[in-house]
Amino acid sequence: MIRGAVAETALGGGLLAGGALLGWMAGDAGLGAGLGLLAYVAWHVRNILRLIVSLRGDGDTPESVGLWGDLFETLHRSRREATTTRRRLAQIVQRFEESSAALPDAAVVLGEDGTIDWCNEAAQRLLGLRTPRDLGQRITNVVRHPAFVAYFNGEGERSAGVEFPAPQGDALMLHAQIVSFGQGRRLLVVRDVTQGRRLEQVRRDFVANASHELRTPLTVIYGFLETLVSDEAALPVRWRRPLELMTQQTLRMQRIIDDMLMLAQLEGDGGQGADADVDILNLLQLIRGEAIALSGSRGHRIEIHADASLWLRGNEAELRSAFANLVDNAVQHTPDGSTITMRWRLQDDSPLLEVQDNGEGIAAEHLPRLSERFYRVDASRSRARGGTGLGLAIVKHALARHDAQLRIRSALGEGSTFGCLFPPERALHRAPRQAPGTA
């Protein structure tokens, strides 16, 4: 820079002095100096023109001396850096495009109002998007399945995503999830879950079919065993105990198969019947009768505190199965003479059924796994009491079909409370058939 300024001064001064000297020799130093200055200005004008031409992109960066030399060199350097940066960015973009094209999942970048800004190749294959035709369109104009549109509009839980058949045909099952990023931008990620769903279906069908096939032979065996056991006097003494045990175990197998069939049914697409208006107090009274019979000589006290005017929109058979399982568990897993309370009321507009017992309770580490199939705190005790290990799994599935949640509160030595919390829109209010309160 300093060198440029020195050269510049030398050049300007040289032209001026040279002009003056030549002019002096020709007899007019002033004219000579003026011509020298003119030459200097002309040189500047020429460099300005070269700069303009170069900035317009018509040609290489020119070369010069003095300050113009410095300026042209700086321009040349920054151009070279810009070219390198551009090349690097182009490489990054190319690498991103290659990797996003290799992704098996569809990725769609959505603008603030849900318009498609960008999508990868998988999005074109899975969702049928076409670029550039669909860029700028609202995603719900292109993917119109009601489940997806409802999810996109914010109905249901965002983090869970949504499943729906591919727009091009029902053969593909897709799972979509939306994540937010940047300012008001969203990324839609769509996965092909066809294979997983097919395997799930195969597993469900297998369990349902196997359970169904086992049911008939077991019924026959149980029937014969019961006949044999009923005439105990006619049996040789050494056969009595084995036959009694065989009858018990056959009954247990029957219960397991019934529960597996029930679970398969709950997991299946079709329900047992359409939703109806269910009188829950009436249902609880029926369940109480069965639970008293189950308790028998064990003497459990079973109470109902219910809002008789509160009914529920749901599937009566599934609700009965869920509630009865909770009450049966309370009978099975609490000591003789324990008190079991069923409560039915609104909690902040949400219908809530609670089954509370004052038994031994469950240690905290078991609670998260309790509703898994065949998970038991004490397997041998559960079996001895006729438990199948599937009761709470049935409860969870039956509740999920009603958009309800199972909430378990328990502590060792303090008893347990199993709550079924339904969404407010399932609540119905009816004139009570009997006075509300303790039934």
Residue 162 sits in the site that holds ligand ADP (CB under 6 A): no
Which residue in the set 16, 162, 392, 406 belongs to the binding site for ligand ADP (CB under 6 A)?
392
Among 19, 351, 391, 419, binds ligand ADP (CB under 6 A): 391
281: exposed, middle or buried (Cβ count in 10 Å: 0-12, 13-18, 19+): buried
- Name residues whose C-beta falls within 8 Å of residue 298's C-beta, 6 or more positions apart in sequence: 331, 336, 337
Which residues have C-beta within 8 Å of that of residue 151, sequence separation ≥ 6? Answer: 158, 161, 162, 176, 178
Cβ proximity to ligand ADP, 15 vs 256, nearer residue: 256
d(CA 421, CA 8): 86
Options 11-19, 182-190, 218-226, 330-338: segment touching ligand ADP (CB under 6 A): 330-338
Contact between 19 and 35 under an 8 Å Cβ cutoff? The reply is: yes
Q: Does residue number 65 form part of the binding site for ligand ADP (CB under 6 A)?
A: no
CA 340/CA 324 separation, integer angstroms:
12
Report the 10 Å Cβ neighbour count for 226. Answer: 13
Is the CB of 310 or the CB of 324 nearer to ligand ADP?
A: 324
Residues numbered 207 to 236 that lie near ligand ADP (CB under 6 A) are none
Judge contact between 350 and 422, C-beta under 8 A.
yes
Q: Which two tokens stand for residue 105?
A: 């999942």
How far, in Å, CA of 337 to CA of 55, rounded? 96
254 part of the interface to ligand ADP, by CB under 6 A: no
In the complex, least distance from residue 327 CB atom to ligand ADP, rounded to whole angstroms = 9
* Choice between 414 and 425, CB closer to ligand ADP: 414
Give the CB-nearest residue to ligand ADP: 391
Q: By CB under 6 A, is residue 341 in contact with ligand ADP? A: no
| Euclidean distance between CA atoms 354 and 291, whole angstroms | 15
Judged by CB under 6 A, does residue 315 bind ligand ADP? no
Q: How many CA atoms lie within 13 A of 318 on its CB side?
A: 31
417 near ligand ADP (CB under 6 A): no
Which tokens is 104 given? Answer: 């098996």
Q: Determine the size of the site formed for ligand ADP (CB under 6 A).
A: 23
Query: With respect to ligand ADP, which residue has the nearer C-beta, 47 or 341?
Result: 341
Stretch that binds ligand ADP, among 71-79, 170-178, 306-314, 383-391 (CB under 6 A): 383-391
Nearer to ligand ADP, 139 or 399 (CB): 399
Residue 51 tokens read as 């700069």
d(CA 140, CA 154) in angstroms, rounded, equals 13
Q: Is 324 in the site for ligand ADP (CB under 6 A)?
A: no
CB of 293 to ligand ADP, least distance (A): 17
Using CB under 6 A as the binding rule, whether residue 321 contacts ligand ADP is answered as no
Q: Which of 20, 302, 310, 362 binds ligand ADP (CB under 6 A)?
A: 362
Q: In sequence order, what DSSP letters do the residues of 144-175 get, joined into one string? A: --HHHHHHHTT-S-TTT-EEEE-TT-TTSEEE
398 makes contact with ligand ADP (CB under 6 A):
no
Distance of CA 92 to CAs 98, 100, 118, 213, Å?
Answer: 10, 12, 16, 60
- Give the shortest CB-431-to-ligand ADP separation in angstroms: 34
Stretch that binds ligand ADP, among 116-124, 290-298, 308-316, 368-376 (CB under 6 A): 368-376
DSSP summary character for residue 426: G
Is 330 a binding residue for ligand ADP by CB under 6 A? The answer is yes
> Does 388 participate in binding ligand ADP (rule CB under 6 A)?
yes
Alpha helices (runs of H) in 345-429, residue ranges in sequence order:
379-384, 391-400
Q: How far apart are CA 113 and CA 352, in angstroms?
A: 38
Quick check: 329 binds ligand ADP (CB under 6 A)?
yes
Residue 10 has, within 13 A of its CA and on its CB side, a CA count of: 8
Among 389, 423, 432, 436, binds ligand ADP (CB under 6 A): 389
- Among residues 20, 76, 14, the alpha carbon closest in space to that of 6 is found at 14
Give the one residue of 11, 31, 377, 428 binding ligand ADP; rule: CB under 6 A: 377
Tell me: does residue 257 bind ligand ADP (CB under 6 A).
no
Q: Which is nearer to ligand ADP, 62 or 387 (CB)?
A: 387
Looking at the Cβ atoms of 184 and 335, the one nearer to ligand ADP is: 335
Check residue 27 and report its DSSP letter.
T
Stretch that binds ligand ADP, among 165-173, 232-240, 386-394, 423-431 (CB under 6 A): 386-394
Q: Are 116 and 129 in contact (CB under 8 A)?
A: yes
Residues binding ligand ADP (CB under 6 A) = 325, 329-330, 332-334, 357, 359, 362, 370, 375-378, 382, 387-393, 416
